[in-house]
Amino acid sequence: MNMGDRMMNKISWILVFVFCVGAGAQVIQKHWVETYSWQGFGTLSTDPFQVFGKEWRIRYKTLNNGPLSVTLHHMDNDKATTVVSRKNGRTLGFEQYKFSPGEKFLFVQGSLGGWRVSVEQYVDSVEEWNYLRYVKQKPSLEKRAAWAGEASREISHLSDRVWRLEFEQVGDGLLQIQVFDATGTMIYDSLTSKAGNKGGGWIYAPGTYSIKITTSDVAWCVYALTAADAAKETAEKK
């Protein structure tokens, strides 16, 4: 091998090394990403979610003066942790956590003045890809029951699994949707006033629930939904 060949060989190895280092840097480079967010007026349980970064945080804020309480629930062990609990004023902040496996959800109790809560994760490109795959593979939802009306009404709904309440406001005017469990504890509360407004929240325990609709002659639609695979399983049992 002559001098020119040895020089070209050395340059080739240097280029391979630089490429590998650069590729590695792309994989390990970490950055904060907002992966989930919710905004509401009142009380609700968020969608279930998982984290993939070794560090993650929950951001929260009120949109106006008022109380705000956020509780983190771990679905695999029923552990609950208080994220924030404020009785009044404007609230803004975050709480940071280390990675823990399993699905989680947030129970948010706020005023009708509004609030916003989000989950941010400190991830590399592989962890971010895992998050995107998780979101893409979530099961679709199917309607299990539906109700509609133009006046106040109270509905009893029995569910043997996790389910989601959704509503749509058809006309202008005040519309309040509330859900109470068998003990009378309110687990969902929302107040809207404009046609086209939509909302909803998750209910994570089976049981009988009272859905209370309070309105001044506003047309509305309310739905109870479950995961598509859960709906199929129920149908096969009948």
CA–CA distance, 112 with 222 (Å, rounded to integer): 20
Q: Compute the average pLDDT of residues 9-28.
A: 46
C-beta separation of 39 from 115 below 8 A: yes
Give tens-digit pLDDT for 48-58.
999 999 999 99
pLDDT band at residue 217 using 50, 70 and 90 as cut-offs: confident
The full set of domains in the chain, from first to last, is 31-136 (2.60.120.380), 141-237 (2.60.120.380)
Structure confidence by residue, pLDDT tens digits, 69-102: 999 999 999 899 999 999 988 999 999 999 999 9
pLDDT given for residue 44 in this prediction? 97
Q: What percent of the chain has pLDDT over 70?
A: 84
Q: What are the CA-CA distances from residue 226 to residues 45, 56, 109, 198 (Å)?
A: 15, 28, 23, 18
Per-residue model confidence as pLDDT tens digits over 162-215: 999 999 999 999 999 999 999 999 999 999 999 999 999 999 999 999 999 999
Asked if the model's pLDDT at residue 24 lies above 60, the reply is no
Q: Is the pLDDT of residue 132 over 50?
A: yes
Mean pLDDT of 136-156: 96
The answer on pLDDT for 16 being more than 70 is no
pLDDT at 117 over 80: yes
What confidence score (pLDDT) does residue 27 get? 55
- Using CA of residue 61, residue 80, residue 125, residue 35, what is the dihedral sign? negative
> How far apart are alpha carbons 193 and 215 in whole angstroms?
10
